[in-house]
């Protein structure tokens, strides 16, 4: 549904509209028909990654010289939005293309970029970022995983949990301590190619409240040896700074997914309340319905204008961490509020999984938690007061 006739995102040009159309068709043909089965099996099919690679959906904002699409963040936004519109929450492309590939492009050596990015763009490699551990999530300084330098290798020990793409990933960017006595300054990002090492083990594909097709998993590293050349960046101890630099983009992607979810929920609900009748009139004819949906539409519009402005800023290299944190917490909170309000208008049907609104309700909850919890976002904003 178009929420506001006549409104067009300021960053959306003709070329991006063509991409939007192509991506929409790709999702309709290759993803949506499998969504239910993927939810039941707890993961997308592995070959969905290869198909997405062939269709140019992976690494769209990575340079062409490394096999990417040669686009910018706007291309990534178009692809993210179409996935969210298709309701295929389990396909972890925003982590793969929007986050992991950018760590490699931004901090990798020429050799690393040549080696990994083309395979990520084709879907031969699936990326994951492993920050969170059983004992620490928000407080990343508390990471216990170590990477000890022995000769020309790092020996990695530790366990990670809640890792998106955990079952399929074969290129994992691991947050580890290269100096256990140096706090944040002892943190580094090291790439593990899982097919090349011993001692790496995947744990459970975790049973979650929503996003069932996402293979969010535990990962274990027991004396995993990788060459020291797998360090991202020229020197050790830069991991925290690298994470902080990339987080605004990661958080904006989550906010954009939230806005599309709001728009979808309102679209479905507007259609339903025009059809369904009670007490001799349409559900839409009750003033309560009109007022509630008017509020939802207003808030979704405010969110849309805000994330579009953040997108323009990011494209200009001007999106600061505070504004990205505002977008992340506010949009994901509103997503949860609006999806809940909308579900109510479906009555009992809203609780039935065959209705997309029920799926959206399940999938929305995590948005307030991952990518930095909404409390952490408010803490970051409060620091600037
Ligand atoms: C589906 C899913 C996918 C995920 N994907 C990834 C991934 O790909 N890679 C990855 O590394 N991680 C991933 N995560 C982990 C996610 O980022 C963390 O769960 C999140 O950052 C919170 O960390 P935690 O679970 O340890 O909670 P905790 O840090 O233990 O927080 C618990 C509660 O305390 C609050 N809290 C903590 N500190 C403060 C404070 N200073 N002030 C006020 N309140 C505070 C939090 O807001 C939260 O409400 C994923 C999680 C899920 C569920």
| Among 30, 82, 236, 250, the one annotated catalytic | 250
Residue with CA at minimum distance from ligand 1 atom 44: 375
Report pLDDT for 280.
98
| Domain of residue 360, CATH code | 1.20.140.10
* Ligand 1 touching residue 90 (CB < 6 A): no
250: annotated active-site residue = yes
Residue of 137, 216, 371 best suited for mutating to test ligand 1, as the one with most atoms within 8 Å of CB: 137
Domain containing 176 equals 128-237
User: Please, what are the averages of pLDDT over each run of 10 residues along the chain (385 residues)?
Assistant: 78 97 97 96 97 97 97 98 95 96 97 98 98 96 96 98 98 98 95 97 97 98 98 96 93 98 98 98 98 98 98 97 98 98 98 97 98 98 98
Q: What is the 3-state secondary structure (H, E, C) of 24-35?
A: HHHHHHHHHHHH
358 in the same domain as 309: yes
For residue 224, list its beta bridge partners: 156
For residue 157, list its beta bridge partners: 146
| Domain of residue 169, CATH code | 2.40.110.10
Q: Residue 147: inside a domain, yes or no?
A: yes
* Ligand 1 touching residue 369 (CB < 6 A): yes
d(CA 169, CA 160): 13
228 in the same domain as 276: no
247 in the same domain as 334: yes
Residue of 368, 370, 381 best suited for mutating to test ligand 1, as the one with most atoms within 8 Å of CB: 370
Report pLDDT for 5.
74
183 in the same domain as 247: no
Q: Given 125, 140, 174, which residue is the final one in a domain?
A: 125
Report pLDDT for 4.
72
d(CA 172, CA 153): 17
d(CA 121, CA 83): 17
251 in the same domain as 372: yes
Say how many domains are in the chain.
Answer: 3
Indicate the pTM of the whole model.
0.97
259 in the same domain as 294: yes
Report pLDDT for 3.
63
375 in the same domain as 258: yes
Nearest to 141 by CA among 99, 83, 182: 182
213 in the same domain as 279: no
Neighbour count for residue 301 (Cβ, 10 Å): 17
Round to the nearest angstrom and report the end-to-end CA distance of the chain. Answer: 38
């Amino acid at each position: 549904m178009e929420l506001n006739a006549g409104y067009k995102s300021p960053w959306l040009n003709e070329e991006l509209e063509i991409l939007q159309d192509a991506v929409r068709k790709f999702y309709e043909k290759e993803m949506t028909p499998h969504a239910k089965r993927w939810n039941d099996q707890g993961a997308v099919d592995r070959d969905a990654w290869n198909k997405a690679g062939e269709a140019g959906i992976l690494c769209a904002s990575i340079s062409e010289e490394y096999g990417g699409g040669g686009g910018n963040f706007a291309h990534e936004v178009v692809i993210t939005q179409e996935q969210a519109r298709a309701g295929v929450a389990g396909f972890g492309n925003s982590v793969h293309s929007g986050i992991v590939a950018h760590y490699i492009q931004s901090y990798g050596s020429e050799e690393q970029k040549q080696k990994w990015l083309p395979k990520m763009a084709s879907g031969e490699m699936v990326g994951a970022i492993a920050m969170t551990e059983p004992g620490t999530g928000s407080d990343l300084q508390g990471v216990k995983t170590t990477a000890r330098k022995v000769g020309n290798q790092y020996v990695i020990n530790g366990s990670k949990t809640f890792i998106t793409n955990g079952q399929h990933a074969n290129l994992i960017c691991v947050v580890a301590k290269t100096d256990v006595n140096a706090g944040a300054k002892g943190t580094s990002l090291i790439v593990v190619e899982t097919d090349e090492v011993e001692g790496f083990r995947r744990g459970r594909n975790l049973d979650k409240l929503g996003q069932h097709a996402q293979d969010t998993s535990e990962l274990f590293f027991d004396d995993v040896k990788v060459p020291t050349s797998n360090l991202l960046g020229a020197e050790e101890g830069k991991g925290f700074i690298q994470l902080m630099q990339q987080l605004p983009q990661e958080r904006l992607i989550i906010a954009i997914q939230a806005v599309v979810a709001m728009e979808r929920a309102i679209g479905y609900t507007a259609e339903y309340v025009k059809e369904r009748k009670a007490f001799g009139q349409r559900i839409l004819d009750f003033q309560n319905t009109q007022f509630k949906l008017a509020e939802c539409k207003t808030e979704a519009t405010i969110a849309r204008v805000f994330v579009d402005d953040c997108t323009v800023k990011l494209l200009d290299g001007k999106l600061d961490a505070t504004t990205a944190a505002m977008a992340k917490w506010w949009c994901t909170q509103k997503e949860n509020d609006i999806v809940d309000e909308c579900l109510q208008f479906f009555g009992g049907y809203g609780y039935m999984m065959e209705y997309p609104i029920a799926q959206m309700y399940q999938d929305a909850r995590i948005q307030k938690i991952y990518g930095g919890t909404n409390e952490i976002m408010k803490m970051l904003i409060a620091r600037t007061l």
